[in-house]
Each structure stands twice: as structure tokens, then as C-alpha cells.
Structure 1
Amino acid sequence: MSGGEKEAMAEVKEWLAKTFEGAGKSVPEFEYTPRSVKHLNHLMTLSKAKDEAARLVARDFRLKSSEYRSQAARIREILENLGLAQESLPSNVVTSAQVLANVANLLNIRDTEMSSFLVAMGDISLRKTEVEEKRAEVNKESKLLLDYTRKAIARLTYLKRTLAQLEDEVAPCEAQKESWETNLQVMAAKERQYNQQCDNYKRMLDRSGYNPEVSHGILVEMAEHRKELEKKTKPILDTLRSYQDLPPDKALAALAIEDKKRQYADAEKYLEDVLQSALASSE
């Protein structure tokens, strides 16, 4: 421990001893460490500064008290010489003077002049006005806070009622959710089944040689052309059937057959041209 620390510890011990001795107690036992000595040294400095300030204030108060006593004695002497001593005054005058003094003390004025009372009363009136204004502001704020509180209570009541309603709806909603989950699983299974069937149908169409270019409209158009071709070939077929009943004439029969074959070939060529044009237009 350095010399400065030892000197600070000695000062602290001396100060503690004087302080506890003044209070009639002994200094408690504790370990003097550099940290505790530093802290106690700081407290000692503050304590000495406050003690010195208190001594100065007390001395000033004693001086003022002595001055006031001297002034009171001088004023009492003057009043006695004038025959206005307190003992010679009527009781009502003494009472009035005491009341006047009490009012002066209450208004915190140093004399009992009328102007001092007026100034003090004006100051009190201003303070009263400020207090009334502050009270009005506080009342206004209180009303606003009360309104906010009422609204908050109403909202809290509504939220509690809504919460209770939601809690009552939890069980039905959970049941409905479970139903939806079951339906969703069924729909997912159906979707997988339909996708599998769709894939099977696509493979079947591929095996059968299905051409996506042949649409429903083209098939309808081909059916109409087929009906028209049947109408054209029906008379030829009827004629050929009628030839079966003719007498066997080889030359005439050969000529008739060749003519019908030519007509039938023309009809087939016409049907093929129609189909080719329909396919070309669809592309």
C-alpha cells in the first residue's frame, strides 16, 4: 500500500471514529480495501462539505435571529415609550394584530403594508387562475381518458364475446375440416385413378392408330359425304342387281358391267378427293 493510500485510510478512520462517537456508537468492524477506502473517502468529502454548509447556514440563522431580537427589543421600546405596549392595548387590538401577523406570514410578506397585501393577493389570484386552468385541462384530459377507457372496455367486451363465439365454433369447424380432409383424400384418389385411366386410354388410342387430326367435325363431314355417295351409288347397284334377271347375253352384259365399273370407280375417286380436301383444310 502506498503512502497516499495509508494517509487516506488514516483520515477515513479518524472521520469514522468522530462520526460514530458523536452518535454514541462504535465503528463496526470491516475490511479496509482500496475500493472501500476510496468510497469512504468520497463520502467523507461530501459529509465535510455538507457539514460546513450547514454550519454556515446555522451561523447565518443565528446572526439573523440576533438581529431580529435586537430589532424586536427596539420596536418594543419605541411602542412602550408611545404607550402602545402589548400589555396596554385592548385584547381585540392584540387579537387583530396577531391575525394580521398570521396573515402576513401566510402570504409570505415581510411587512403589513396594504400594498404588500394587495400584491400578495394579486399573486394568489394569478396562482388561483393558473390552478383553475390546469384543473380545467386535467378535467378535459380526464374526460378523454374516461372516454378512451369506456371505448376500451366496450372493445374488450366485444373481443371477449367474439372469443367465446369462436371457441364455441371450434368443434364444428374441426369436424367440418376433418370432413374436408376426408373428401380431399377421396378426390386425390379419384384424381390418381382418372389420370391412370386417361393414360390407359391414350395408350389404347396409340395402339389403334388414332390420329388427333381427325376431329369430330371432319368425321361428321365425311359421314355426310358418305351418305351423298351412297345416294349416288344406290341407283348403280340397283341397276346391277336388275341385270341379274336379264337373259344371258355375254356381250351386252360385259358392256353393262364395264360401264357400271367405270361409274363406281368415278364415285370412289370423288370420295377420295373429298376426304383428301377435308384433311388438307383441317391442317
Structure 2
Amino acid sequence: MIRRLQTEENKERMSDLISTADPSVVEGKSGFDTAHIAQVKTWLASQFEAVGKDVPDFEYTPRSIAHLHALATVSQAKTQAAGIVEADLRQKAVEYRSQASRVREILENVGLAQESLPQNGVASVQVLANVANLLNIRDTELSSYLVAMGDISLRKTGVEEKRTKVQKECKVLLDYTRKAIARLTYLKRTLSQLEDDVTNCEAQMVHWKTNLAIMLSKERQYLQQYSNYKAILNRVSYTSDISHGVLVEMAEHRKELDKKTKPILETLRSYQDLPPDKALAALAIEDKRRQYAAAEKYLEEVLHSALATTE
């Protein structure tokens, strides 16, 4: 108990020394004064003498003095803390040696000295001690061994579970890796095919480019011709009423009129062979004029009806 209190007290002293030697705190409080310069020079001399070297020349500025004073304070605090730990460890070693001597004396008094024990017993005790150290237990009682073995069993179970989980994850990752390799192989094959087709595609593109230039030239030519034809139609007063269908229909009506007027013309030609009679000739001419006027009127009506239907 006393040993534990001393150890805790030493730890508190070391923490206090280190905390008070915070470089930021010391640097904030330190200034450019002779006391700090003397401390820094002393510390630098001790440090460089320890490695057998001389202190290099440098400029003493407030910033460098503050920084070096902070480092010196921290170094001295850590050195003092290391000395405390070293003294504590030496004291523990002395106590452990005295305790070992006392235990050895007790064992010798009861006749259980190591020299009096059989060789197999010593080996068993050594094995037992090694197992205790391996299991990280403080004593060699059966309950401690059982607890440690139970803890190891639990850890083993946890490790096996983690191992199973990791194996499953590795299997999944291996599957993903195989799929990725297969896809990469397919992509490489596709890339190789595309690289082989580049030449043909470039030739085809050159051909299409040439055809496109020809088509553009033809397009400009056709647009110019369309503009010229449109100007010609505007110059001759072409309208949408005069279309191919209207002309075809008028031609068919003309054929019908020709069929109707042909007998009349033949009749007029037959009258030319008759003896001249002024009165009869005048009547015949007047009758033919009426028929001709009726035919012209009928032709005009047909044309007007055709034009109205087209509109």
C-alpha cells in the first residue's frame, strides 16, 4: 500500500513538472533578460558538452531566447521526471530483491528450497510460472488459471468469429475481383477490336466527308436553281391556280369540245360543195355562228368550273 502511494506521488510530481514546463506558457511569460540568457547558455553548454561539441555561435534575440528558454525548461523537467522514474525503479528492484530473499529464506526454513526439490518438480514449477506469465496472471491459484483460460476461450471464439467474417468478406472480394478481371479482359478485347477498326472507320469517315462536301455543293446548286426558277415564274406571272392537274383537265375538256365541234366543221365543209344560194347560205352561216357561240360559252363555263374546283 505504501509502495503504491509513493508511486502515485511520483507520478503526480512528474505530471506537475511537465505541465509547468509547457513551452507555450514559458514562451509567453519569458522576456529578453539576463537571467533567461544565463539559463539558456548554461543549458546549451551542458547539452553540447554531453556530446563532445562546442556551442555554435548565433544571435541572441528575444524570440530565440524565449524559444530556447522554453526548450531548456521542458528538457530539465523531463530530465528530473526521468530521474524520479529511475529512482522509483531502483527502489522497486531493491524491494523485489529483498522480498525474493525473504521468500527464499522462508522456503529454506520449511525445507522447500530450490536445491532440495527434485528436478521434475522444479521443471513443473518453472512451466507453471511460464504459463502464469503467458496468461498474464499474478498468482498460480487454480481459479486464476480457470479465469484466464475462460478469457482466452472467449477471445478464441471472438477471433474465430472474426476469422469467419473475414473469410466471407474475402470470398466476396475474391468474387468481385474475378468479375472485375473478367470485365477488364472483355474491355481490353473490345479496345483491341476498336483499335483494329480505327483504320476502316477513318477511311469510311473520309468517304462520308467527301460525299458531304459534294452534297453541300449540290444543295447550293439546287437552291440557286430553285431561286432562278422562282424568279422566272414570278416574271411570267405564274400562280398556284395554273397547275399540272388544271392543265390536264382543261386538255381533256378541249378534246371533248373537239369531238363535239368536229361534226359541225364537217357539216360546214359539206356546205361548201352546194350551189351558192345567198339566202340559204346566210341562214346556214347564222345557224353555225349560234352553234359556235354556244360551244365557246360552254367551253368558258367548263374552264370557270375547273378553276373554281381547283381553288
What is the TM-score when the length of structure 1 is the normalising length?
0.89
Which stretch of structure 1 is more off in the superposition, 249-258 or 61-70?
61-70
Match of 2:27 in 1: none
Match of 2:184 in 1: 156
Q: Secondary structure at the match of 2:31?
A: helix
**For residue 50 of structure 1, what is the amino acid of its counterpart?**
K
CA apart distance, 1:187 = 1.3
Q: Does 1:11 align with 2:35?
A: no
Which runs of 5 or more structure 1 residues have no equivalent in the other structure? none
Q: Secondary structure at the match of 2:115?
A: helix
Greater RCO (Cα-Cα under 8 Å, separation 6 or more): 2
Q: Distance in 1 between matches of 2:39 and 2:166?
A: 55
Once the two structures are superposed, the pairs formed by residues 166-185 of structure 1 within 5 Å of their partners are 166-185=194-213
Q: Does 1:188 align with 2:213?
A: no
Which runs of 5 or more structure 2 residues have no equivalent in the other structure? 1-29
Contact 2:128 2:140 in 1 (8 A): yes
- The C-alpha deviation readout for 1:230-267, integer Å capped at 9, x for no partner, is 22212211111111001010111011001100110011
Q: Distance in 2 between matches of 1:33 and 1:109?
A: 57
Contact 2:129 2:140 in 1 (8 A): yes
Q: Alignment RMSD, CA only? A: 2.3
Q: Distance in 1 between matches of 2:142 and 2:42?
A: 57
TM-aligned CA distance change 1:82 to 1:48, over 3 Å: same
Q: Distance in 2 between matches of 1:94 and 1:25?
A: 54
Q: Distance in 2 between matches of 1:36 and 1:144?
A: 59
CA apart distance, 1:113 = 0.9
Q: Does 1:67 align with 2:95?
A: yes
Q: Distance in 1 between matches of 2:178 and 2:73?
A: 56
TM-aligned CA distance change 1:128 to 1:35, over 3 Å: farther
Q: Distance in 1 between matches of 2:190 and 2:63?
A: 62
Match of 1:103 in 2: 131
Which stretch of structure 1 is more off in the superposition, 69-78 or 182-191?
69-78
Q: Distance in 2 between matches of 1:164 and 1:31?
A: 69
Residue 89 of structure 1: which of 107, 111, 117 is its match?
Answer: 117
Q: Distance in 2 between matches of 1:64 and 1:126?
A: 35
Q: Distance in 2 between matches of 1:69 and 1:29?
A: 50
CA apart distance, 1:66 = 2.4
**For residue 76 of structure 2, what is the amino acid of its counterpart?**
K
Q: Distance in 1 between matches of 2:184 and 2:263?
A: 95
Count the aligned residue pairs: 282
What is the TM-score when the length of structure 2 is the normalising length?
0.82
> Identity over the aligned pairs, expressed in percent?
72
TM-aligned CA distance change 1:154 to 1:214, over 3 Å: same
Q: Does 1:268 align with 2:296?
A: yes
Which stretch of structure 1 is more off in the superposition, 48-57 or 179-188?
48-57
Q: Does 1:214 align with 2:246?
A: no
Which stretch of structure 1 is more off in the superposition, 232-241 or 35-44?
35-44
TM-aligned CA distance change 1:214 to 1:159, over 3 Å: same
